[in-house]
Amino acid sequence: MKTIRTYNQISVKGLDRLLAAGYEVAEKTEQPDALMLRSYKMQVEDILPTVKAIGRAGAGVNNIPLEACTGRGIPVFNAPGANANAVKELVLAGMLLSSRGILQGIDYVSTLDRSLDEKAMNVLLEAEKKRFKGNELAGKTIGIIGLGAIGSKIADMALSLGMSVLGYDPAISVEAAWRLPSEVERIESISSVLARADFVTLHLPVLDATRNLINRDTLAACRPETVLLNFSRKEIVDSAAVAEALNNKVFAQYVADFPVPELIGLPGCLLMPHIGASTDEAEDNCAIMVAEQLKDFLEHGNVVNAVNFPALKMPRDNGAFRMTITNHNVPTMLGSITTVLAQANLNVIDLLNKSRGEIAYNIIDLADKPSAQVVADLQAIDGVINIRLL
């Protein structure tokens, strides 16, 4: 029986996929095969020697020690796109709240004298409602920085609202490019997006290249009426630069899902308590996706949506014995592996090999089960990290 150790509260719909497959799921277990978490800040010591995989029921993995996992040959799975609709809808809410006097109007109504009769209240509201006049989204331009699963959904939504859409993503994948509506105008620089758009929304991972991507220099390109929305990660935006730019009226408003002390209460800031993916549907979708990915890896060695491993998936021949090998991505490794198998007279039925950065991963289907000596010989190859027999 395979065991999954969970951190945080994981959606029951995801856990049910594992339980139905005969897995043990527990918050405390001494020899877990895999770990499953949401926002828990994982430490290296949490990754016990038996752990073969980690699943993050969400998109970001900055709470997981990736380097340590990669060094031990442990794939870290996430759920890209599973919360895309939830974030898309909150971006829409952010645009509406920033362009109409919704919150201000609600606050005003809450202060009205309840002793007024309905006629007097109607007269008062008619006189005061002009204070809360706003602008419609139709006809405005939105710039989307990051055109992945969330960005493409926002592009669709914005087009349906009658908006013009600018898109910037220098690292867009072929799959994402196919998802993108043809009406989106591709822009070659962030500054051009900031200079042309009424709304600019960020949807990027936290990488060395994206940390503080929005800073004093990039914000200088904004127009005074620009609204900047960040439902991605707080590290992408230099908060001090945002505060300075708002105080100097470089741009109009900052709508974000990541409150930080220097922005709380600042005029022009609308801050939410990191609720972008906080819907029942998004939590279910993330947990289901990660549960299925963990099952597929633990049972068949397939890798789908791992942030530190190459994507590799091979149909399984029922008559074959499957072995997976993780190794450092250095020359001659595959030749050394197949030489050991050939010397043991093991017939390779099928083999897939792929690398990503410093890691290479192999799925090998054999006609017979390799002996303990063969496994030891493979493990003795300089550069082999781990071997699994499935």
Is 274 assigned a catalytic role? yes
Instruction: Write down the pLDDT at residue 319.
Output: 83
Q: Which CATH architecture has domain 138-271?
A: 3-Layer(aba) Sandwich (3.40)
Q: Which residues pair with 270 in a beta bridge?
A: 255
pLDDT (0 to 100) of residue 84 = 94
> Per the residue annotation, which of 233, 235, 292, 322 is the catalytic one?
233
Sequence-separated (6 or more) residues with CB below 8 Å from residue 149: 80, 81, 84, 176, 179
Residue 388 known to be catalytic: no
Annotation: CATH topology of 1-83+278-309: Rossmann fold (3.40.50)
Residue of 196, 216, 274, 356 marked active site: 274
Distance CA 53, CA 70 (A): 10
Quote the pLDDT of residue 92.
98
What gap in Å lies between CA 290 and CA 15, rounded to an integer?
A: 10
Write down the CATH number for the domain with range 314-390: 3.30.70.260
Q: What is the pTM of this model?
A: 0.83
Residues in contact with 281: Cβ distance below 8 Å, sequence separation at least 6, in sequence order: 85, 86
Q: Kindly report the number of other CB atoms within 10 A of residue 311's CB atom.
A: 12
DSSP state of 56: E
Instruction: Quickly count: other Cβ atoms within 10 Å of residue 295's Cβ.
Output: 21
The pLDDT, as a whole number, for residue 321 is 96
Closest CA to 226 of 140, 318, 129, 113: 140
CATH 3.40.50.720 range(s) for the chain read 1-83+278-309, 138-271
Q: Are 33 and 24 in contact (CB under 8 A)?
A: no
Residues of the chain with pLDDT under 50: none
Q: How far, in Å, are 55, 294, 307, 386 from residue 51 at the CA level?
A: 11, 12, 17, 12
Annotation marks residue 322 as catalytic: no
- Among 27, 175, 262, 358, which one carries the catalytic annotation? 262
Please give the full DSSP string across 293-354, using - where no structure is assigned.
Answer: HHHHHHHH--B-SBSSS--B--PPPTTSEEEEEEEES-TTHHHHHHHHHHHTT--EEEEEEE
